[in-house]
Amino acid sequence: MDRMTRRGFLQAAGISAVGVVATPALMRSASAAATTGKPNILVIMSDEHAASIMGCAGDKVIRTPNLDALAARGVVFDACYTNSPLCVPSRLSFTAGKYASRVSAWSNDCWLPSDDCPSIARIMTAAGYDSGLCGKMHYDASRRYGFRDVGGNMNRSRKSGKGVRRDPDKLAERPGFSGRFNQFHPAETGGVMPHDLAVTKGTTEFLRSWKPTDKPFFLIAGYLAPHFPLIVPQKYWDVYKDKVPMPEIPAGHLEGQVRNYKHLRVGFHVEHVPPEIVKKGRELYYGLTQWLDEQIGQVLGALAESQAAANTVVIYTSDHGENIGEHGLWWKNCVYDSAARVPLIASSPSRWKAPQRRGGACSLVDVVKTIADLGGAKVPADWNGDSMADWLADTGAKWKDQAVSEYYAHNIASGYAMIRQGKYKYVYHTPADADHPAERELYDLSADPGEFTNLAAAPVQAERIKAMHAALVAEIGENPDKTELRCRAEYAKGYERAKAGGGKNKNRNKKKSEKS
């Protein structure tokens, strides 16, 4: 299909410039030609998108026709996890191919130990790819880890490496609630929208200009939506008014949470949010998710029109989820599924039968290994994760059914780590100090998908907890107690920045970065 015919097909199918993407039938047509050589790889990574809030994930309220269409021509993973439920640690882990604790990616004020580390960009470039980044990956202004900027410089923060722990006994609730909730309102522009419009523009221009004589590309389109502030045009809010259910919080659930989650509520000042603001925020989040879907539709539409359409793997995911009031929490930072589970769709109709689903647990370091495998890149021996290429091709292929996530960032008394194996999720919270010992969580997600019943204290689960804790330590390569002490030592030291980079960072951007 030549470019003119393809464009005519798009127009005939009613695919407008503002977003509804190519249909599955169109993409099958576009990919009918036999693929040759290395595939192009387009990764679309949103920010703070809860895995359950997509039509293809079973949500009957949300309107995500473009992601649903991508799912219809791809493979949907129902149990993919972030390796850290916070922007910067998650994205640095993705960049480095290692768990966040292994590269000291503790918080939003961190960078990787070295700018010239063997990142996913560098190993893909070594394999013959043009490795580009269009949008936010929350990198320090001085570092790109082998990516070249596409569409302009959108990573300008400056990291200090500093961090603190909350006093474990400081749990007194404060009156009122966070000022962040004042940024829940409709508007024609503002919030994350201007940034994301630039991402769409840069990505679509790149795709339309790519030629088969060019190098294959590995491109990340880094969106900020549906991350707060929850600002979106009125028409997107109107779609969801009075339609989004309120969070389910059983009696006694908040009181029974582990210490760290109580600290998250108090530290982020989200413990007294009026029901009408909870309702409004959830509706606006749905509206912003729909707005994001339309941006993704424009990108996928441009791909369908481009000369890259027949030989491009598309991967959609997010750096972490969003609680939107679930478990009494907002933003992310916890390892409940609302924050730790992420959407993952992989599509290449010429390679994998569609639609398909995979139910086993996996994580973003597995996605990184898969990208490298698809591109024929040589992966460093010390990387974490496993390639899912065989599992993508064959639903019966052997898979580990395991995922790990860690959180050592702000507004907690101590760091914690999670492992999911099959239907069970185990979480270990390190001791805050000698007077506040470790705490544990264990959930049977098949019987308790809402994660309301902590089984950790049940004697019958003692052997399971012992085995899962050992598996967690083995997978990460370090006891979380030791990890927590190492994190505290590095937080106290921080980074020494050269004058050429603006002098020593006196933590000027700590408050700003921790809002991410």
Residues of the chain above pLDDT 90, percent: 88
Ranges 12-21, 42-51, 215-224, 279-288: which has the least confidence: 12-21
> Does residue 507 register a pLDDT over 90?
no
Q: What is the pLDDT of residue 21?
A: 46
Task: Say what the alpha-carbon torsion angle 275, 277, 283, 284 is, to the nearest 10 degrees.
Answer: -170
Residues of the chain above pLDDT 70, percent: 90
> Does residue 417 register a pLDDT over 70?
yes
Split at pLDDT 50, 70, 90, the class of 498 is confident
Q: What is the pLDDT of residue 335?
A: 98
- Cα 418 to Cα 429: distance, rounded to the nearest angstrom: 9
Q: What is the pLDDT of residue 106?
A: 98
pLDDT in tens, 280-331: 999 999 999 999 999 999 999 999 999 999 999 999 999 999 999 999 999 9
Mean pLDDT confidence for 216-220: 98
Mean pLDDT confidence for 231-259: 98
pLDDT in tens, 418-438: 999 999 999 999 999 999 999
pLDDT in tens, 146-203: 999 999 999 999 999 999 999 999 999 899 999 999 999 999 999 999 999 999 999 9
Mean pLDDT confidence for 207-229: 98
Ranges 36-40, 52-56, 103-107, 496-500: which has the least confidence: 496-500
Q: What is the pLDDT of residue 22?
A: 45
Three-state secondary structure string covering 106-121 = CCCCCCCCCCCCCCHH
What mean pLDDT, rounded, does the chain reach?
91
Q: What is the pLDDT of residue 16?
A: 36
Domains and CATH numbers, the chain: 3-31+38-162+174-400 (3.40.720.10)
Ranges 32-36, 120-124, 156-160, 404-408: which has the least confidence: 32-36
Phi-psi region of 3 (alpha: psi -120 to 50; beta: other; left: phi over 0): alpha
Mean pLDDT confidence for 208-231: 98
Q: What is the pLDDT of residue 497?
A: 83
Q: What is the pLDDT of residue 516?
A: 52
Side chain identity, residue 450:
G
Of 324, 320, 318, the closest CA to residue 296 belongs to: 318
- Cα 357 to Cα 139: distance, rounded to the nearest angstrom: 32
Q: How many other CB atoms are there within 10 angstroms of residue 83's CB atom?
A: 33
Q: Quick check: pTM over 0.85? A: yes
- Cα 217 to Cα 207: distance, rounded to the nearest angstrom: 10
- Cα 65 to Cα 70: distance, rounded to the nearest angstrom: 9
> Does residue 503 register a pLDDT over 90?
no
User: Positive or negative, the Cα torsion across 224, 230, 234, 236?
Assistant: positive
Q: What is the pLDDT of residue 499?
A: 65
What are the CB-based long-range contacts (under 8 Å, 24+) for 86-90? 86/320, 86/332, 86/333, 86/407, 86/409, 86/516, 87/47, 87/48, 87/138, 87/227, 87/319, 87/320, 87/516, 88/138, 88/159, 88/513, 88/516, 89/406, 89/407, 89/408, 89/409, 90/319, 90/320, 90/364
Query: Is the model more confident about 344 or about 503?
Result: 344
Q: What is the pLDDT of residue 406?
A: 98
CB 40 within 8 A of CB 131: no
pLDDT in tens, 434-490: 999 999 999 999 999 999 999 999 999 999 999 999 999 999 999 999 999 999 999
> Does residue 9 register a pLDDT over 70?
no
Of 377, 382, 409, 354, the closest CA to residue 86 belongs to: 409
> Does residue 505 register a pLDDT over 90?
no
Residue 240 in tokens: 């969801």
Split at pLDDT 50, 70, 90, the class of 208 is very high
pLDDT in tens, 35-90: 447 999 999 999 999 999 999 999 999 999 999 999 999 999 999 999 999 999 99
- Cα 504 to Cα 25: distance, rounded to the nearest angstrom: 55
> Does residue 509 register a pLDDT over 70?
no
Split at pLDDT 50, 70, 90, the class of 10 is very low
